[in-house]
Structure 1
Amino acid sequence: MDKINKNETNSDSEEEIGLGGSLIVEELETYKYEFYDDIKIEIEGQELQNVNIQPSTGLLPWPASRVLSLYISKYKEEFIGKDVVELGSGVGLCGLVSSKYTNFTLFTDGDEKSLPLLRDNVQSNSNLFNNKINNNNNSNNNNDRISIERLYWGNNQPTLDSFKEKYSNKYNFDIVIGSDLIYVDASIEPLFFTVDSILNTNKSGVGKGTFYLSFLDRKNHFPILKSVSEKYNFTMENIELNTFINYEASTMARMFIFKRNNK
């Protein structure tokens, strides 16, 4: 059973962070989770505030990350030994759960403010992948199980080109995961462009790979989601939450699995 306990901690000091920046961390809370397969995770994040004043959407655990994390731990056989990319990692919950099973997990986020907290959360839960990350300003190049990178979605993005150059020859990315990545319809096209680009680096053959996505469908994104996924040659499968969720989830909660059609 999944549990969440929050213990408020405060820090008014400015802390130096990796990736060449600094962050003022205020009112961080500790979130404790339990998932299937006896997975226990403790992470830090902010409590959800008014979206107009939230310092960064990547600094708090979103509801859909709990959904996807439960799925991963319930159906771990789908992830064992795979090379996985998480998009929009935020505080890192889903990637941490997957790292227990995968050959390699790459945490990514385009929000620079979230990366230091993501790095801290991965470090504090390194028991899941039995290896400490190399906490430096150039991500984690020396670790063979985990890495963290800044990655923007869409065409003509230097970070996506850098990703391909850095990782495509070393890892065979079978799976992309993401939670609460969709807030507006306009984000769906660049999201699937990025997913498609990542899975196209799979050396086992064009047209393979799977994208696992959970989100709260606040504005009926389904028609655009279906249209764009088909454009990129994915078959969309709606997953019934009651097959793995062990709590009362939001009525807006959705989970989809997108599988590549052979091209």
Structure 2
Amino acid sequence: MPWGPKTRTRRKLVRECELEEDEEYENMKEEYGLFVWPCSRILAEYVWQQKARFSSAHVVELGAGTSLPGLVAAKMGAEVTLTDDSTRLEVLDNMRTGVLGLTWGVWDAPIFSLHPNIILGADVLYDTCAFDDLFATVTFLLQKCPESVFITTYHNRSGHHLIEFLMEKWGLKCAKLLDGFSFMPSSKASSLSGNIQLAEIVLDAPN
């Protein structure tokens, strides 16, 4: 059927709506790092309950956003470096401890200056397209300090099989896996929801 004026107008309106939705989605993505999400609160509580472990640790927080876990670690006496995507200036501008722009999977100067024995990451396992770059970065940092650990909280979504596959690919293993609410005081957990897990991930030493 030939295109008439009404058809062209309808297609134009549809395209304009799609562009508006794309722009709205991008704006939402930009704002993700400015909220304190449940995973961040649960990881911060875990840090708080392990004061001795963090009192003299060298900590790097990946995808820090509002950086609640990292700030709690700093309060415990840790030397903390907060990192987020080097293109996310609105997030980096809100950080007040040691800050680096660090893009996962990119081997530029900032990553070579880091020597953490604890790596933190709250809700960094949300975009499956970024999983491989995240684990590449985590593995690089763990290899610099073989006794170090990556502690992360995440929603147990359908991507857990991909997480297991990539851990094996990058020579990692889960040393501890907890229900994120198992150690949360009821007064703090009551306002949170979701199937959230906490994992401690380390290098998988060869047999």
When Rg is computed on C-alpha atoms for both structures, the one with the higher figure is: 2
CA distance in 1, matches of 2:179, 2:83: 27
Aligned-residue RMSD, C-alpha: 2.0
Residue 149 (structure 2) aligns with:
210
CA distance in 1, matches of 2:171, 2:154: 21
Residue 231 (structure 1) aligns with:
169
- Are the equivalent residues in 1 in contact too, given 2:59–2:80 (CA < 8 A)? yes
Residue 162 (structure 1) aligns with:
109
Report which of the two has the higher share of helix: 2
For residues 106-185 of structure 1, the aligned pairs below 5 Å read: 106-110=81-85, 111-118=88-95, 122=96, 146-154=97-105, 157=106, 160-165=107-112, 167-168=113-114, 172-185=115-128
CA apart distance, 1:181: 0.9
CA 164–115 in structure 1, closer or farther in 2 if over 3 Å, else same: closer
- Are the equivalent residues in 1 in contact too, given 2:61–2:120 (CA < 8 A)? yes
- Are the equivalent residues in 2 in contact too, given 1:164–1:201 (CA < 8 A)? no
Q: One-letter code of the match for 2:58?
A: D
TM-score normalised by L of structure 2: 0.76
Structure 2 counterpart of 1:196, from 139, 142, 149: 139
Residue 128 (structure 1) aligns with:
none
**Equivalent residue pairs, number:** 175
Unaligned ranges ≥5, structure 2:
1-23
CA apart distance, 1:77: 2.6
CA distance in 2, matches of 1:250, 1:71: 17
Residue 55 (structure 2) aligns with:
80
Unaligned ranges ≥5, structure 1:
1-49, 123-145
CA distance in 1, matches of 2:45, 2:154: 13
Deviations 1:148-176 (A, max 9, x none): 0100001xx2xx431244x24xxx41111
